Amino acid sequence: RGGRAFMRHTRPDPRRYETTQRLASDSQSGHYAPMPSAFDSDLAVLREWWAVHSSSVGCEVRGLWFGLADLVGDDEVARHTMDVAGTPDFDSDDGGDWACEYLWEPVDRYLRLDGLGGIDQDDRQGAVDHAVALVRELRPWEGDVPGLNGVGVGFDDGDVVVVWASA
């Protein structure tokens, strides 16, 4: 991960990934209603996961890394996957090197989020934008991590987006 460029992105519109379905009670009329968006579904899964694990993040963790990787699942298809880890350091100016050494790694740190995994494999920026929006909504810096200095998101082999840094 060394040599990552520091980037900031504006918040993407999570509705970009929203789909629709025909209302079951009105299938003849052709009316459609929004399904829960892929973003909302992913956020619910991430919030549930974070609620279970946030209290286990040690006070020595300074950075949280929400990494992205393309992993092959049981269906033998590669999909964008999120992994979460804590680091002993955080430096928004070091190009992401802070995100290379893990201090806190939950056993189930890899999250297969349907919305994230459904983004085209070639759309890495779309996957990053989706993940950044998820972490901004999760707001892990407002919880149980007392010594936290920063939170980053990005592909394990790419650039880091600093989502939050302490003042």
Predicted confidence (pLDDT) at residue 108 exceeds the cutoff of 80: yes
Q: Which helix (H) or strand (E) holds 33?
A: strand 32-34
Is 137 buried (19+), middle (13-18) or exposed (0-12) by CB count in 10 A? middle
Q: What is the pLDDT of residue 35?
A: 55
Mean pLDDT throughout 96-104? Answer: 93
More confident residue, 162 or 31: 162
Does the global pTM surpass 0.75?
yes
User: Average per-residue pLDDT in the chain?
Assistant: 82
Q: For residue 5, what are its two tokens?
A: 């460029």
Ranking 21-30, 73-82, 88-97 by mean pLDDT, the lowest is 21-30
Rounded distance between C-alpha atoms, residue 70 and residue 64, angstroms: 20
**For the residues 30-54, what does the mean pLDDT come to?**
83
**Angle, helix 38-53 to helix 124-138, in steps of 10 degrees:** 50
Higher pLDDT: 61 or 26? It is 61
